[in-house]
A = this chain, B = another copy of it.
């Protein structure tokens, strides 16, 4: 193999692999490596293909490059190749594969990296996935980003360690998909509507997919860098795939069942308050300065046209009055300040509605004119 690739293009491809390659895979060293292949397609196009896997996820990326003299393939350290290409002081990078090493050249620099046998490069078992929908990559990235900050981080909550895609049918027989993440304290629900799926009936087993945190992170990066209008999202009961303009991505799903999230969303409310989420976030940031890590609770007292935030600790106390649109009776709620702040941070508008009942019941937050909703449990007094 001897190819010349534009630095910016090569760098972009290698960046995508970084999110799924396990850099410190010392027990299985080949998992910290990627497979680089140069070959002519059936149509005679010179193609560079890069493949990486951690055995849970697999990513192939293909690009047409300038014609090369000799095809071939090599398995090299993903991280080091990425760093080298990124720092090369030239527009073009030349990669040449030999028996047990590759050379990388660009500018005045030349690198030699050892390779591992191509035959030993692991292939994740992938299936033909029966269900498919086409979707704008930005739209899919948005519903994932709107929800995924609520994924559980505690190791023990394995069933909540991912984002749930739940395909359902409404009364008009239209398919929609609830995109849900929760860590037991808070919940985020977004929706993909007016979906067209190639198969009219999705069996129960494949209608609820739980996609793990690392897969979610890799998906967002791939979707955000895809220049196309559509990606193909395919799924079965235990795998998903994404096919974009230049890449193909596979991932296993979490096998745990996802909890019944619909029952966590309150249907009624007594109080309804409108506020500016960006302003509330700044106020929370200030009031939160006096809170020590362990307590982390902030008190919200709602009164006509005002919300008084207050926080206390041995370090000191703080309060701040925030302007809101509310004219009902006074009431008080206590929240984990970080959870409340993150909801405000993920809002996309200037007005958010909060709906609450009396007592220790979940509270609903929603941007005006937007389907995504957040549910947050208050803390008891």
Contacts and interface: CB of A to CB of B under 8 A. Distances in A.
Interface of A: 77, 80, 83-84, 87-89, 101, 107-114, 282-283, 285-287, 289-290, 314-322
B320 A87 contact: no
A198 to B, nearest CB: 46
Contacts of A77: 315-316
Nearest to A306: B108
A190 B168 CA distance: 74
Contacts of A316: 77, 80, 101, 111-114
A312 to B, nearest CB: 9
Contacts of A289: 80, 83-84, 87, 111
Given A289-B83, A289-B87, A111 B317 contact: yes
7 contacts: A80-B289, A80-B290, A80-B315, A109-B283, A111-B290, A111-B316, A113-B315
Contacts of A89: 282, 286
Given A80-B315, A315-B77, A320 B286 contact: no
Given A80-B290, A87-B289, A289-B80, A108 B283 contact: yes
Nearest to A282: B89
A319 B114 contact: no
Contacts of A113: 290, 315-316
Nearest to A89: B282
Contact of A88 (B83, B88, B286, B321): B286
B111 A318 contact: yes
Contacts of A314: 114
Contacts of A287: 109
